[in-house]
Amino acid sequence: MSELRDLYQEVILDHNRHPRNFGELAEANREADGFNPLCGDKIKVHLVVDEDDRIADIRFEGSGCAISTASASVMTETLKGKTVDEARALFHTFHDLVTGKTEGDLGELGKLAVFAGVAEFPVRVKCATLCWHTTNAALEESADAVSTE
Amino acid sequence: MAAATSPTSTKLDVEAVRRDFPILQREVYDRPLVYLDNAASTQKPRAVIDAVATFYETTNANIHRGVHRLSQEATDQFEDAREAMRDFLGATKVEEIVFTRGTTEGINLVAMSYGRANVGAGDEILITHMEHHSNIVPWQLLCEQTGAQLVVAPINDDGEIDMDAFASLVSERTKIVSVGHVSNALGTINPIAEIGRLAHEVGAVLVVDGAQGCPHGAVDVQALGADFYACSGHKMYGPTGVGVLYGRHDLLEAMPPYQGGGEMIRTVTFEKSTYAPSPAKFEAGTPNIAGGVGLGAAARYLQSIGLEAIERHEAELLAYGTERLAEVDGLRMVGTARRKAGVMGFVMDCAHPHDIGTILDREAVAVRTGHHCAQPVMDRFGVPATSRASLGIYNTREEIDALVDALQQVREVFGG
């Protein structure tokens, strides 16, 4: 059970039950869809990027497992107010974290550190990163929906 | 061959069967493996493993080509496996058994060979709402190429075909009816013989996706009225990458080849080639010879246990499992047909199927989670995915209990 508890930390269960920044964003100027065909997870990320390249607002919609929903929820909290470059850097940091490539202090990751347990469950990495890939695509203004496969 | 029971005995000796499967000895996360993902792929008995290994150790050579001894022996073994599958499916002639890569290739073969030769613009192909993607997409491809229409018969809330609606959709325009014997997502056993009668009344052919039908009970393609019946080796305790397509002899004889290459020809010149008779016509290139030999061994292994005993064993387990799963708070079964094979699809109100799958895995309980290659079924029941426990010949009541205990862990983690 201990690895399961590491994966399903209270923060993750809470964000799954009560996702933050969930819903549409009428004034969004960047959007992208993400899909995991293996498990059917779907996500849509809406962003408002201001003239200083800063994420002024971000919301998400969709349905997915606890890891996917909580990851999207925590991501939106983390990215709000960050610049596009900072968001991209965080994506790399987060990806390293959930694939077990992060060593040492997790302090700088803030709340994202609760996803460290995902590294013990390789098949769940895609659940945790779908929202980040989708946000990345929105920031790149890519027209294609993101697929994990 | 290690026969767990004689074919005449009425009850399956599950402990003896379990001893035939070496993998059931292994542990997962320091616990005994509870393998409940049989609808995805079954484990292999010693008889199949030995047949494949022995083939490679003593016989390996290409078939239907060499005059040398090994080639002759390899050919004999491969053709003997074809005979085993003929007998297993109740076909009249060995020429009616075409080796394929599996069910998917079998259905694609029918769509591309029979379909392109016999279906045109304005014709209809009738399937049901519960089909696996492999019994949807090949027909969509055929429709795109021919201008035919794909017609989908509805299913009810229990996951059964609405037979009144089905009958009303069969018409003179219907050229092919293609239905799963047993639904992989819902477990429903479909009334194939009745569907066959409806198809034949209008001169349509009946194609049966037998991937989930073969492993769970006796199949008799003639009693079913199937014109084509496709199945996969790995779902009936045989190797992966091999399966067979049964096709009625007169239909196969009239059909154009599926792929071109060696083995399927009679003569080749640059001006024109002529084709071998069935089944060689549909078996271009060197087949999965060892896999075919293993599949023949699997068919005989299942017969040695007795298909009726298997059916009864799985029906008893299904009844027990359905009863036990009903004890789990917040669990809802998806697929509650009156006639069901050992497939239990379900959702829980507290957890997503993917999370359920991860927690069950850590309890050494292997189930499938996801859309089961049946997205329209998921849409029909308004769920993004389900968890699915599917039964096989070696499963026990204790393993059902382990599943239920693990589901209680899910409730504990998610506070359901």
What is the tens place of the pLDDT at every residue in B65-122?
778 999 999 999 999 999 999 999 999 999 999 999 999 999 999 999 999 999 999 9
Task: Name the residue facing A4 among B352, B362, B369 (closest C-beta).
Answer: B362
pLDDT at B27: 95
Q: Where are the domains of chain B?
A: 14-43+306-414, 49-303
Residues of B in contact with A121 (CB under 8 A): 358
- CATH architecture under which domain B14-43+306-414 falls: Alpha-Beta Complex (3.90)
Residues of B in contact with A125 (CB under 8 A): none
Give contacts of B40 with chain A, Cβ < 8 Å.
none
pLDDT for A142 equals 67
Contact assignment for A8 to B384 by CB distance below 8 Å = no
pLDDT number for residue B298: 98
**Cβ distance B413 to A9 under 8 Å?**
no
Residue corresponding to tokens 């946000």: A135
Could you confirm whether B373 is annotated as catalytic?
A: yes
Token readout for A42 is 């779907």
Q: What top-level class would CATH report for the domain B49-303?
A: alpha beta
Beta strands, E only, B68-225: 97-100, 124-128, 149-153, 174-180, 205-209
CA distance B355 to chain A (A): 6
CB atoms B354 and A121 under 8 Å:
no
* Interchain pair B409, A40: CB under 8 A: no
This complex has an ipTM of 0.87
Beta sheet of B343-348, edge-to-edge order: B331-333, B343-348, B386-390, B368-370
Measure in Å the smallest separation between the Cα of B227 and chain A Cα atoms.
33
Per-residue pLDDT of B207-232, as tens digits, reads: 999 999 999 999 999 999 999 999 99
C-alpha distances in Å from residue B291, one per residue of B38, B82, B101: 19, 11, 9
Kindly report, residue by residue over B156-210, the tens digit of the pLDDT. Answer: 999 999 999 999 999 999 999 999 999 999 999 999 999 999 999 999 999 999 9
Rg (CA), chain B: 22
Q: How far is B50 from chain A (nearest CA, A)?
A: 32
**Which of B81, B57, B59 lies closest to B70, judged by CA?**
B59
pLDDT in tens, B276-303: 999 999 999 999 999 999 999 999 999 9
Q: Under 8 Å CB-to-CB from B52, ≥6 apart: which residues?
A: B239, B290, B291, B293, B294, B297
In order of their start, the domains of chain A are 2-141 (3.90.1010.10)
The span from the CA of B411 to the CA of B331, in Å, is 10
Please state, in angstroms and as integers, the Cα–Cα distance from residue B233 to each residue in B184, B239, B247, B303, B342, following that order. 15, 6, 17, 15, 18
Please report residues of A whose CB lies closer than 8 A to that of B359.
4
CB contact under 8 A, B384 and A42: yes
How close, in Å, is residue A12 to chain B by CA atoms? Answer: 10
What does the pLDDT read at residue B2? 44
A78, A108 contact by CB (below 8 A): no
Q: CB distance A8–B413 less than 8 Å?
A: yes
How far are the Cα atoms of B35, B46, B135, B171 from residue B11, in angstroms, in the given order?
21, 21, 34, 44
Interface test with A, best of B29, B354, B377 (most A CBs within 10 A): B354
| 3-state SS assignment for residue A98 | helix
